[in-house]
Amino acid sequence: MARVRTFIAVDLAAGVRDRLIAVQDKLGGSSAGVKWVAGPNMHLTLLFLGEVGELEVVDICRVVQGRAGRHEPFTLEVAGLGAFPNERRPKILWAGIADGAKPLKALHAELEDGLLELGCYRREDREYTPHLTLGRLTHDERTADWGAALAKNKDWHGGISPVDEVLVMASELRRDGPRYSVMGRAPLGQRVSGGHL
Distance CA 179, CA 183 (A): 13
Query: What is the residue-wise DSSP string for 134-167?
Result: EEEESSSTTHHHHHHHHHHTTT-EEEEEEE-EEE
Contact 42, 177 (CB under 8 A): no
Q: How many residues does the chain have?
A: 197
Q: Does residue 108 carry a catalytic annotation?
A: no
Q: Which one of 108, 131, 157, 196 is the catalytic residue?
A: 131
Which of 43, 71, 139, 157 is catalytic? The answer is 43
157 is catalytic: no
Nearest to 77, CA basis, from 173, 1, 160: 160
Q: Are 31 and 85 in contact (CB under 8 A)?
A: no
Residues taking part in catalysis = 43, 131
